[in-house]
A and B are shown apart, each in its own frame.
Chain A
Amino acid sequence: MISIRARLLLWIGLPFTLVSILTMITSQVVLSRQINETFDAMLLNAAERLERRIHSVDGELRINMHYFSISTLGSRGEGKIFYRIRDGAGNMLAGFEGLEGPPSGADTPVFYDTRYAGNELRAVATSFPVVRSTRSSQIEVIVAESTEARASLIQDFLLTLSALMVIGGLLAVTIALLAIQQGLAPLRAISRSLRRRSPNDLDPIEARVPREVTTLVASINGLMARMRQSIRNTQQFNADVSHQLRTPVSEIRALAEVTARQCEDEGVRRTLEEIGRIAEDAGYTVQQLLTLAKTRHELVDTQVMEPVVLADVCREACAEATARIYQRGQELEFIEEATGDVFADPVRLRWLVQNLIENASQHAGGDVPYRGTVRVRVFQQDGAPALSVADDGVGVAPGHLSRLTERFYRASPSTPGSGLGLAIVDEVARAHGARLHFASPPGEGMTVSVAFPPRRGADAPT
């Protein structure tokens, strides 16, 4: 597909070149004729002047060349001039005898091309009557001029014209390029704004665009609206399903707990506890699905985003998790190495940190319950605040690291979990313009870090 720029250039350049060529051809034809006519007229004029110098004295024809210089005959004094004067009987009176006469049968004056002494010549022949004594006779005068002068004049004209054409052409192309640049600017702006969007952003393009592009933008917006509607339907369905599942799952869990408490039989009690545990997992998955069903705007409402102190949010998340962590025989540690603001939705951000802590606490042990420390750290990285949640557990094999944020991906299928936690954490992090990074050096557990973008004044990330 040829680019619009190339098309425009082609469709401006090609006609312009054709017009230029046509102009050149027409100019050459018209100019040559014009110049020839002018030169011919001057030649004739020279012939007439020569003629006036001829007079008869006592029946003898004389040419008064006294005040007549042959060179003044010429049009511009450049070319060579030849002449021949003969009387009616064909006797030479003056000039160059070898100069060829006109093709016979033409009325005078007659113009014709000829050659003489190696020169291309343009000649004019006239004849006029003279009265010699009492009888009159015809005198023939031929004046010829070499054609160099007219040729060089035509050449000069054409050269100047071509130079002007070339300059004009270059100017036209430059102007066309500038015009194309300007004309395509709105298209570039649209594509730039589309490129900068996150994949989840399906809002209509609201930029003011020229009339010609409105249809295109309207079509894109229409497509986006349809996609938005379809995604919304799916999400609504997801949300409905999750919501409808919560209550029955709660019931199963509660009834299992109550019955297990009342049950005397050890085997039945263990089964009931297992049912309760399964219901707990199911409930957790349902909850995660509900969160995942939210759009980016629901996930992080830009309206409630504000500068928050990252360390404070992390401390709150730790405080919430502390009791649970210690009940599991694990320890929690908070390390504050840097203070700094991030632009965030405080509730979601706290939720993100809680999820990372929970993830470490649940999965650090691999197949056995974890018994170590979960370390939450707030630090500075590349001029921006960052946080990390680390454990001393079994870690994750390098091959699995990159897949941790995939939905329903579970590094260790034997431990409970939905495989959605880190996917949601990743979504929330992205919604804050932050990046998630996983590191698991062999034997050193796992570290999940979240690097926030540097804050530019009070600007909100878009």
Chain B
Amino acid sequence: MKALVVEDNTNLATSIAAFLTEAGFEVETCGDGQAAEQWLRHLSFDLVLLDLGLPNLDGIHVLRRLRARQDRTPVLIISARDDLDHRVLGLEEGADDYLGKPFSLVEVVARSKALVRRAKQFGEKNLQCGGLELPPNSPAVLVNGEAVALHRREREVLEYLLINQGRLVSKAQIIDRLSDIDDSLTSSAVETYISRLRKKIGGAAQLRTVRGLGYLLDAGDPRP
């Protein structure tokens, strides 16, 4: 996975790069809007971390030009301008997520991974969360290395939860995502699949019901 970190502050750029590298990214850094524009024109990345206040060319312009070229590379904006309006502006210009300074590097990595995961949800890599691993095109899920068979619908629900791990997934989203014209899912069916999945997963990952809201899948062991 290749990531471009566009940040003019060297300390921040190298810190982010260090954490992303540790998380398995191949990282390029650059501290100038024009240079970033050149990088993005000629190379393809799986992720761009973009500061808004850049010398030579503002981050928003870099983003705008990227999207104008029909480039759908996920963009995570990191900025000191934590104005809600700028946030909205960045997202309206086609950014996929936003982090205001000062941010936690752990958060940067988590968001970066989530963005790549979402962009690549039909990719060849295994979806993974805690002790769970879901290989592509496989009817079974690996629970702590052991294959457990899944019903087609259960697999679809699990796949969707894995793609969105660490984020709240509402029942409506699952229904919306998995229903098609011939076969629509009911709310109680979703509940059934979830409870069956929970049994199959065991303690390999946490599949939580958030009352009134939906479901949350994460690796478990909450911060002490």
Determine if A329 and B222 form an interchain contact, defined as CB atoms under 8 angstroms apart: yes
B213 engages A334 (CB within 8 Å)? yes
> Does residue B104 face the partner (Cβ distance < 8 Å to A)?
yes
Closest A-chain residue to B79, C-beta based?
A246
Q: Would you give the shortest CB distance from B218 to chain A, in whole angstroms?
A: 7
Q: Given B82, B104, B208, B212, which contacts A335 in the complex, CB threshold below 8 Å?
A: B212
- A326, B105: Cα distance in complex, Å: 19
Decide if A334 touches B102 in the complex (CB within 8 Å): no
Cross-chain contact B212 with A336 (CB below 8 angstroms): yes
Which of B25-33, B39-47, B164-172, B190-198 lies at the interface?
Answer: B164-172
B100 at the A/B interface (Cβ < 8 Å)? yes
Interface string of B213-224 (1 = CB under 8 A from A): 110101000110
Q: Given contacts A255-B15, A319-B168, is CB(A246)–CB(B102) below 8 Å?
A: yes
Q: Which of A251, A318, A322, A329 contacts B9 (CB under 8 A)?
A: A251
In the assembled complex, the Cα of A252 lies from the Cα of B223 at a distance in Å of 23
Interface residues of A in 266-283 (CB under 8 A from B): 276, 279-280, 282-283
Q: Is the CB of A246 within 8 A of B80?
A: yes
Q: Which residue in chain A gives the minimum CB-CB distance to B82? A: A287
Contact code string A86-118 (vs B, CB < 8 Å = 1, else 0): 000000000000000000000000000000000
Chain B residues contacting A322 (CB-CB under 8 Å) are 167-168, 210, 213, 216
A280 engages B102 (CB within 8 Å): yes
Whether A332 and B102, one on each chain, are in contact in the complex, defined by CB atoms closer than 8 angstroms, is no
Contacts of B81 in A (CB 8 A): 243
Q: How many residues of B contact A (CB 8 A)?
A: 39
Which A residues are in CB contact (< 8 Å) with B101?
Answer: 246-247, 249-250, 283
Contact with A along B62-91 (1 / 0, CB 8 A): 000000000000000000111111011000
B211 interfacial by beta-carbon distance below 8 Å: yes
Counting chain B CB atoms within 10 Å of each CB, the highest count among A252, A282, A332 belongs to A332
CA distance A279 to B102 in the complex (A): 8
Q: Please give the distance in Å from A301's CB to the nearest CB on chain B.
A: 8
| Chain A 325-337: CB-based contact to B (< 8 A → 1; otherwise 0) | 0111101111110
**B18 is an interface residue with CB less than 8 A from chain A:** yes
Q: Please tell me if B12 contacts chain A, counting CB pairs below 8 Å.
A: yes
Minimum CB–CB distance for A194 against chain B, Å: 30
Contact yes or no, A250 B168, CB < 8 A: no
Judge if A348 is at the interface, Cβ distance under 8 Å.
yes
Residues of A close to B124: CB separation below 8 A: none
Residues of A within 8 A of B88 (CB): 347
A323 at the interface (CB under 8 A from B): yes
With A319-B168, A323-B168 known as contacts, the answer to whether A334 contacts B22 (CB < 8 A) is no
Interchain nearest-CB distance for A259 vs B (Å): 9
Q: Are A258 and B15 in contact (CB under 8 A)?
A: yes
* Choice from A276, A331, A347, A376 contacting B84 with Cβ under 8 Å: A347
B16 on the A face (CB < 8 A): yes
Q: Looking at A276, A290, A319, A329, which has the most chain B CB atoms within 10 Å of its CB?
A: A319
Residues of A within 8 A of B216 (CB): 322-323, 326
Cα distance A347–B98 when bound, in Å? 14
- Which A residues lie within 8 Å of B223 (CB)? 327-329
Task: Decide yes or no whether A84 CB sits under 8 A from chain B.
Answer: no
**Interface 0/1 of B1-26, CB less than 8 Å to A:** 00000000101101110110010000
- Using Cβ atoms and an 8 Å threshold, which residues of chain B touch A336? 212
- Would you list which residues of chain B between 173 and 224 have a CB under 8 Å from chain A? 206, 208, 210-214, 216, 218, 222-223
Minimal Cβ-Cβ distance residue in B for A351: B84
- Report which of B85, B104, B208 forms a contact with A257, defined as CB distance below 8 A: B104
Question: Counting CB contacts under 8 A, is A261 at the interface?
Answer: yes
Report if A254 contacts B (CB, 8 A): yes
Within 8 Å of chain B (Cβ to Cβ): is A132?
no
Known contacts A287-B100, A319-B213, A322-B216; is-contact A257 B105 (Cβ 8 Å): yes
Q: What's the least CB distance linking B145 to chain A, in Å?
A: 25
**Min CB gap A84→B, angstroms:** 114
B80–A243 touching, CB < 8 Å: yes
| A249 contacts across to B, CB distance below 8 A | 101-102
> Smallest CB–CB gap between A298 and chain B, Å?
9
- Which residues of chain B are near A376, meaning CB under 8 Å? 212
Q: Does B148 belong to the interface (CB within 8 Å)?
A: no
Determine if B213 and A332 form an interchain contact, defined as CB atoms under 8 angstroms apart.
yes
Q: Produce 1/0 per residue, A4-36, CB < 8 A to B.
A: 000000000000000000000000000000000
Closest B-chain residue to A301, C-beta based? B85
By a CB distance below 8 angstroms, the chain B residues around A250 are 9, 12, 80, 101-103
| Contacting pair A251 B11 (CB below 8 A) | yes
A326 to chain B, nearest CB (A): 6
State whether the Cβ of B106 lies closer than 8 Å to any Cβ in chain A.
yes
Question: Which residues of A are found within 8 Å of B208, using beta-carbon distances?
Answer: 326
Asked if A253 is at the interface (CB within 8 A of a chain B CB), the reply is: yes
A283, B168: Cα distance in complex, Å: 26
Q: A254-B105, A255-B11 are in contact. Are A290 and B82 (CB under 8 A)?
A: yes
Nearest neighbor of A377 in chain B, beta-carbon distance: B212
CA A261 – CA B19 in complex, angstroms?
9
A246 in contact with B104 (CB, 8 Å) = no
7 CB contacts below 8 A, A to B, read: A251-B11, A252-B102, A322-B210, A323-B166, A328-B223, A329-B222, A334-B213
The 8 closest A-B pairs by CB, nearest first: A334-B212, A283-B102, A254-B15, A250-B102, A322-B168, A329-B222, A250-B101, A319-B168
Given A253-B102, A332-B211, 6 new contacts (CB under 8 A): A243-B81, A247-B12, A247-B80, A257-B19, A258-B14, A315-B213
